Amino acid sequence: MQPAGREHWKSSLGFVLAAAGSAVGLGNIWRFPTLTGQNGGGGFVLLYVSIVLLVGLPLMYVELSMGRAAQLGPVGAFRTLAPHRAWRALGYLFVLTGIVILSYYGVVAGWTLKYFWMAVVDGFTKEASGPAFGAFTKNGTLQIAFLAAFLGLTTGIVFFGVKGGIERMSTVLMPVLFVLLLLLIVYALTLPTALDGLCFYLIPDPASISGKTFVFAAGQAFFSLSLGMGAMLTYGSYLSPGSNLMRSGLVVVLCDTAVAIMAGLLIFPVLGGAPDKSGPGLVFVVLTDLFATLPAGRFVGALFFLLLAIAALTSTISLMEVAASYWIDERGWSRKKAVGVTAGLVLLLGVPSALSLGAVGGLGNVLSIGGKALGFLDLMDFFFGNVSLTLGGFLLVLFALLAWKRARFEAELYAGSGTPAVVRKGLFFLLAVLAPLCLGGILGYMLITGQTLG
């Protein structure tokens, strides 16, 4: 059922900012520098950028064209673009993936509020940053409270719809994010540790590139671009037929990559080299430690966590919109009911993740994959943030070329843009050959070794 008056973005800039807002998130500012630090610096960055351009961009085009052609979210798009019912199951997997990712992403997003608050109200103390972080993640009540607070913010925006909520907030928040990031980089580059950090970050060391680096870089690329679960497809479904997809898609991908690279330009000069702690520790312990000692550190820290909170918020709204649009498009629900039910489901699913970081011991060690003990949050990230997105990306490519059919996909993608034949041929090669090889290979590797990418 297609609602009579589907909402559309007010302007193409609004769409680009909203889609870039979805892409730019904790993935760029927290996960990308962490992975770069763990995987040897410059070589990883080089690999990452190549994968973004060669596989991520084509996949972005698939999602955006499917959405715009169908004018419906993933379930509706699979239903209307190709007749076979089996594809619809994939649509449901996408909606579920969005809900699950939001449920644990919201936990970490909640931390940004807490740390912003800490910078403004209490200030950072160097000796306390590690233990304080541990005490915070162990506190189940606080974990759930901050998750709920972040979901509350998200729900409040998605409730006001595509134009009045998502687009309006993104057009304000994204420029703020960009300016904050620039200011912080300028500050970071004046620190005595800047040069060492930049060398580690920007000079590729060929010895650090391996099959594992490749899988990590690729997983990070899809996650960071919000690909593989219909988030970009859903945003594309609010585009009017006349828009230039080739251009907007490219701008979104470039913005996301630029912000990731810029986050590294901020974090590595502050660290002065490779981080010695991994995962959550990087931003919430190591950086907090430094903010406690740096000149104007408390002020800079407050700006930094505000930046992180904004980045996370424009991402969580896109995750929520996928599920909301499902209830609205396919079930005919009102937006109010759709966001309310989605928020409830997400909170429910988020509780075990929130409690898996020390509050409830059993949830901290649920399963072991490839010799690694995984807690509930890690497990959700592995299956939904990694496996499901890669599988989704792989099947989206197959769907566009084989079920929806190449001719129809290309007609939709190139409408409104004068793309030269050689670009079209190149893009087809990337989608038909490189993307399936790359995505299939990663999926196999991930399932066999159980590598989680966080």
Asked if 36 is part of the footprint of ligand TRP (rule: CB under 6 A), the reply reads no
Does residue 28 touch ligand TRP according to CB under 6 A? yes
Nearest-5° Cα angle at 184, 178 to 187: 145
The minimum distance between CB 63 and ligand TRP, in angstroms, equals 10
Pattern 299-328, binding to ligand TRP, x per CB under 6 A? ----------------x--xx---------
* Secondary structure (3-state) at 24: coil
**Smallest distance, Å, CB 229 to ligand TRP?**
5
Place of tokens 């399932």: 447
Binders of ligand TRP among residues 338 to 397 (CB under 6 A) are: 389
Contact by Cβ (8 Å): 178, 16? no
Task: Please identify which residue in 17, 77, 81, 231 interacts with ligand TRP, judged by CB under 6 A.
Answer: 231
Q: Shortest distance, CB of residue 78 to ligand TRP, whole angstroms?
A: 17
Amino acid identity, position 22? S
Residue 41: how many other CB atoms lie within 10 Å: 23
Residue closest to 312 by CA, chosen among 81, 22, 83:
22
Residue closer to ligand TRP (CB basis): 223 or 414: 223
Give how far the C-alpha of residue 177 lies from the chain's centroid of Cα atoms, to the nearest Å. Answer: 16
Alpha helices in 39-85 (DSSP H): 42-51, 57-70, 74-81
Measured from the Cβ of residue 152, the count of other Cβ atoms closer than 10 Å reads 11
| Of 17, 19, 20, 26, the one binding ligand TRP by CB under 6 A | 26
Q: Binding ligand TRP by CB under 6 A: which of 65, 71, 143, 224?
A: 224
> What does the alpha-carbon distance between residue 74 and residue 230 come to, in Å, rounded to a whole number?
6
* Burial group, residue 173, by CB count within 10 angstroms (0-12, 13-18, 19+): buried
- The count of residues in the chain is 454
Tokens of 233: 């497809």
* Binding window for ligand TRP (CB under 6 A); candidates: 17-25, 262-270, 293-301, 359-367: 17-25
Residue closer to ligand TRP (CB basis): 194 or 322: 322
At position 68, the amino acid (one-letter code) is: R
Stretch that binds ligand TRP, among 23-31, 44-52, 144-152, 167-175 (CB under 6 A): 23-31
Of 123-131, 135-143, 225-233, 362-370, the window that binds ligand TRP (rule: CB under 6 A) is 225-233
Minimum separation from the CB atom of position 251 to ligand TRP (A):
16
Binding mask 122-161 for ligand TRP (x = CB under 6 A): ----------------------------------------
Binding stretches for ligand TRP (CB under 6 A): 22-23, 25-28, 101, 223-224, 226, 229, 231, 315, 318-319, 389
